[in-house]
Amino acid sequence: MKRVMLVLFVAVVLGAVFVFRWWLPSERVANPIVSLPDTRLDYRLENYQAQFYDQQGEPELQVSGPQLEHDAESRVVTMIEPEFQLSTETAPWLGRADLGKFDRGFDQLSLTSNVELWQDLAIGRLTLVTESLQHLRPARTISSDQPVQIQRPGTKANANGLMIRLDTETVELSDDVYLYAKSAATDD
């Protein structure tokens, strides 16, 4: 019994010492909080080329140009003088602009200032000129709500809106459409 009492007494004293030590302020420095590095990156590329693929792994968009910048805060990619190619079943759409921007998910390409888009077809080159175009990658559309001029051999049209559906390969002009057809008697 003395032995049991001695073991209980020692256990109580050790418990009191641990509680007292825990209660006293520690002179040790607290472990620093480990922080991960900031993964938001600002970067700039020169003479870049990027290719984007559809869900089947086929190339659908290629963009290149002299300069590309990524803003970490907004996560917007700005491209200076981009050149681009959009794949379709018959012939790709090719183009250029003074400025291009990709949104956060690389789902929308916005092109502004001196935008040209063309497609070489059996009947000749179809050319589109405007100040602003938007390409929605998931919807596979190209659209503009700015004045657009579209031209192919023998025909020229002006409109205030445009929708190109890449999957059905259709071009829709809207809002004050003016069509100019070249007659056989004129050289214009």
Residues 41-45: what's their mean pLDDT? 79
Task: State pLDDT tens for residues 91-148.
Answer: 888 999 999 998 777 788 899 999 999 988 888 898 999 999 998 888 888 899 999 9
**Letter string b/e over residues 21-36, b meaning 16 or more CB atoms within 10 A of that residue's CB:** eeeeeeeeeeeeeeee
Q: Report domain extents, the chain.
A: 43-181
The CATH H-level (homologous superfamily) assignment of domain 43-181 is Lipopolysaccharide (LPS) transport protein A like domain (2.60.450.10)
Cα 162 from Cα 166, distance rounded (Å): 13
Q: How confident is the model at residue 30 (pLDDT cuts 50, 70, 90)?
A: low
Give every CB contact of residue 91 below 8 A, 6+ residues apart in sequence. 119, 120, 121
Which range of 30-34, 97-101, 165-169, 180-184 scores highest in mean pLDDT? It is 97-101
